């Protein structure tokens, strides 16, 4: 199996470890599959064997009513590393 690039390994590690509340993330838009910024993790939970996250919109601090699986999230690349929270 070919070795993954370093950044791909670090992204996969982050997904496996999870994110703590307050971590700035982008969420995959379910309509056009683009990435949307302006969110942070509000809480982590599990639905069966799938880790999911409730998100807070940073503009008005509202928590979204839907939980998102980790595969639909990624670290917000526009956020400085010093403001990112990981376990």
Q: Report the predicted TM-score, pTM, of the whole model to 2 decimal places.
A: 0.70
Q: Cα 74 vs. chain centroid, distance in angstroms?
A: 4
Instruction: Enumerate the domain spans of the chain.
Output: 6-83
Phi, psi torsion values for 75, nearest 5 degrees:
-60, 140
Return the CATH number of the domain spanning residue range 6-83.
Answer: 2.30.30.10
pLDDT in tens, 7-45: 444 444 444 567 889 999 999 998 999 999 999 999 999
Mean confidence (pLDDT) of the chain: 79
């Amino acid at each position: 199996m070919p070795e993954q690039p370093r950044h791909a390994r670090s992204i996969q590690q982050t997904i496996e470890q999870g994110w703590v509340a307050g971590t700035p993330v982008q969420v995959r838009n379910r309509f056009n599959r683009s990435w949307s910024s302006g969110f942070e993790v509000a809480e982590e939970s599990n639905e069966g064997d799938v880790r999911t996250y409730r998100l807070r919109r940073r503009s008005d601090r509202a928590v979204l009513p839907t939980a998102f699986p980790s595969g639909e999230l990624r670290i917000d690349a526009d956020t400085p590393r010093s403001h990112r929270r990981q376990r």
